[in-house]
Structure 1
Amino acid sequence: MFLKLTVVFIVLLQSYVNVTLASDPDPVTDFCIPQTDAATTLLRCKNSSLATVDDFVFSGIKNSGKFSETGLSSIPVNVNVFPGLNTLGMSMVRADFEIGGVNVPHFHPRANEIAVVLEGKIYSGFIDTENRIYAKVIEKGDVMVFPRGLVHFQMNVGSTKATILGSFDSQNPGLLRIPSGIFGSGIKEELLEKAFGLNAKELAKLRKRFGPH
């Protein structure tokens, strides 16, 4: 009986460790600059002797990008635009906000995020799985963390433009914006009407706004 309990305990402990420590896999080489094998279309690592310092430098966030209708400009710095990040388990984002600009509620399924305010005043926060909200106005030099998978948001509440620099512990954190995920994904209309107390006209308006363009 003791042996059986011990085995069960070990299995449960191993499952706990596998879940709690889940993250991007550890690299087995110094670095891996990806390149496509033209013959097979498979991604391979560039021969390390052919790598240059330019593989490890990215200059795409010196300035803000194009602003959305919500007043947000977001420039992701991940392996898709910066191959030097491949296998390193990290990525970044530059987010700029016009006055009153909003980063709508969203979450990253594969990464924790830590964000520092470079300029401005941002109302920033997240919601936990008990529907508790943790939010306050953060200013230049303040840092806030958003735990993996929890819905979070930002809004510029200052009188000037604002900028945040965010960092993730994954080379591909993923991003799901709640409005477009709910109303732009093709979920059955009857379900959304019942879930949100909407009528068909209201739902059609939301789908037009947040659906794919």
Structure 2
Amino acid sequence: MKISMIHIFVTIILVAAHMAIAESDMLQDFCVADLSNGLKVNGYTCKDPAKVTADDFYYVGLASAAATGNNTMGSVVTAANVAKVPGLNTLGVSISRIDYAPGGLNPPHLHPRASEAIFVLEGRLFVGFLTSSGQLISKHLNKGDVFVFPKALLHFQQNPNKAPASVLAAFDSQNPGAQAVGPSLFGANPPIPDDLLAKAFGIGPMEIQKVKGKFPAKK
């Protein structure tokens, strides 16, 4: 039976894809991040295995609720990413705890490098994300519920209730990153021109200046 060129082509593509996946597999037991090394790579260089300890894989920062009183949004994110847990380097996972005051909000933001799944530890939340076509997918969550936010889509969590709330958030990245809409657009450094933002949002330059005043540029 003759094998067509299309079958050969598909076979080559599948073999190449398998090889690419295999090359990305772990080549050692672990690669604990050497946070003291200034070398810039996609991740961190590996710590000398002889100097690795259990503390490189250990973190206690998520055990207690964070103080939300001094946060203007009424929410605090405590991250356990590779910067806090060096043993996460190259493993492609991390976790955070988010605490919300009554009425607190984790404002619209996205994680450029990860999807996110939250588990409600305490309280009730209103959560949602926006699709690339502008559809809002939202739901009210109770204690014990799980909700998933797809990678790089804008999403939020709000506590509209009179009691505190908290969640655990899991990510498929050792360093998911977070980009908030307001600070990114109106607190950019150097700043985005007022006329550009005014045209994009359909408002006047004076209104843009007022909004920028709420988001001081980071130095």
TM-score normalised by L of structure 2: 0.82
User: Could you tell me whether the CA contact under 8 Å between 1:112 and 1:148 is conserved in 2?
Assistant: yes
User: Could you tell me whether the CA contact under 8 Å between 2:94 and 2:172 is conserved in 1?
Assistant: yes
- Provide, for residues 149-170 of structure 1, a one-character-per-residue CA deviation record: whole Å limited to 9, x for no partner: 1111010022200001100001
Aligned partner letter, 2:169: G
Q: In the alignment, which of 81, 84, 89 is matched to residue 84 of structure 2? A: 81
How far is the alpha carbon of 1:135 from its aligned partner? 0.5
In structure 2, do the counterparts of structure 1 residues 36 and 53 end up closer, same or farther at CA, with 3 Å as the change threshold?
A: closer
Aligned partner letter, 2:151: R
> Which structure's residues are more often strand, by fraction?
1
Residue segments in structure 1 that go unaligned for 5+ positions in a row: none
TM-score normalised by L of structure 1: 0.85
User: Could you tell me whether the CA contact under 8 Å between 2:35 and 2:86 is conserved in 1?
Assistant: no
Q: How many residues align?
A: 204
How far is the alpha carbon of 1:174 from its aligned partner? 1.5
Q: In the alignment, which of 75, 96, 100 is matched to residue 97 of structure 1? A: 100
Partner of 1:69: 72
Partner of 2:57: 56
Partner of 1:136: 139
Q: Distance in 2 between matches of 1:195 and 1:12?
A: 43
After superposition, the CA RMSD in angstroms is: 2.6
How far is the alpha carbon of 1:59 from its aligned partner? 0.8
Residue segments in structure 2 that go unaligned for 5+ positions in a row: none
Percentage of pairs with the same residue:
37
- Provide, for residues 50-82 of structure 1, a one-character-per-residue CA deviation record: whole Å limited to 9, x for no partner: 322222110112223353201011111111111
How far is the alpha carbon of 1:9 from its aligned partner? 6.1
User: Could you tell me whether the CA contact under 8 Å between 2:33 and 2:82 is conserved in 1?
Assistant: no
Q: Distance in 1 between matches of 2:194 and 2:13?
A: 41
Q: Distance in 2 between matches of 1:124 and 1:69?
A: 19
In structure 2, do the counterparts of structure 1 residues 36 and 82 end up closer, same or farther at CA, with 3 Å as the change threshold?
A: closer
> What's the secondary structure of 1:35's corresponding residue?
coil
2:186 corresponds to 1:179: no
> What's the secondary structure of 1:30's corresponding residue?
coil
